[in-house]
Structure formats: structure tokens, C-alpha cells
Amino acid sequence: MKYSFNLLADHLSKVSVFTGRLVSWLTIGMVVILSFNVISSWLFNVSAILLTESVTWMHSANFLLAAAYTLNRGEHVRVDIFYAKMTAKRKALVDLLGTLFLLLPVCAFILWSSWSFVLLSWNIGEVSAEAGGLPFLWILKGFLIVMPVLLIIEGIAQFFKNLSVLMNDQSTTGQAEKSL
């Protein structure tokens, strides 16, 4: 049973790891496009709204879609004053309770509160309000639904990893990270 918790957690974590690694490439795109836009603005006094918006969109996508990967890697915001000195079981208990009472309810609230906003954007085929801006704004707004779904998947994986630690199985290494 303990083995199946780890196996399930590792399979669920593969989604976060894959998405995080895929989205990380947007950072390179942001640097290239922003550099090009700054240089063209400086040298030729020309700046494109399309390029500026694309950097903003990539940054938004990177932030929203890599949140679950950040949680998977343990790089999320945490108050480490007490946590750093805790035993593995206590850390697992804190993480398990945090997942159940903070992460999952907040993700459910984000899904619930953004659903109609995103649906309206998709229904009208929303585009940028800027002349010369990017079309398909509805895709970017759709990430407001994707982000909590990815966090829920990773939250369930974290729940099972922590449950395994609490059940005395100390072999909860991130196999999803190693396999990709």
C-alpha cells in the first residue's frame, strides 16, 4: 500500500514536471524578444505592441503553468523558521495539512471564481484591447483554469507522498523528476 502511494504520487508529479520543463523555455523567448524590442526601440526609435504583449503573455504563462512545478520542487513560499528544524514526519504532517486545508481549497476557489470570466472570454473570442496587440487573449485567460488544475494534481501527489512518509515509508524521493 505504501508503495502504491509513492507510485501514484510519482505518476501524478510527472504532469507538473513535464509542464514546468516545457514552460521554462518561455523564459528564453522572453529574453530574446524583450532584448530585440529594447534594441530596436533604442536604435531605430521603433517599439512594437505585439512584442511587448508577447513578453507579458509569456511571463503570465510561465508564472501560471509553472506553479505546480514549483510546488513539486519544494521551491514555493514557505515560512521556514520552524519548518526547517522539524523531523521528516512533522514536515510531512504540516505539508499534508497545508495541502488539505490551504492548497486544495484555494485552487477550488480560483477555479470557481474564474470559470465564468474565462468562459466569457472564450465565448467572445477576446483579443487584445491594444491596436496591433496579440489576438487570442482568451487562450491566456484559459490558463486561469489550467493553473489550479495543475496545482490540484500536484497537490494530490504531495498528499500521497506525505501520507507515505507518515506511514513510515521514508523512500519518497521524486521518481517523477528522475524519469523525465
Instruction: Provide the percentage of residues in the chain whose pLDDT is more than 70.
Output: 92
Q: Tens digit of pLDDT for each residue in 25-46?
A: 999 999 999 999 999 989 988 8
Q: Tens digit of pLDDT for each residue in 121-157?
A: 999 999 999 888 889 999 999 999 999 999 999 999 9
- The reported pLDDT for the residue numbered 173 is 46
10 Å CB burial of residue 95 (0-12, 13-18, 19+) is buried
Query: Do residues 104 and 155 lie in contact, with contact meaning Cβ atoms separated by under 8 Å?
Result: yes
Residue 180 lies in a domain: no
Q: Which domain holds residue 67?
A: 2-173
pTM across the whole model? 0.85
> How many structural domains comprise the chain?
1
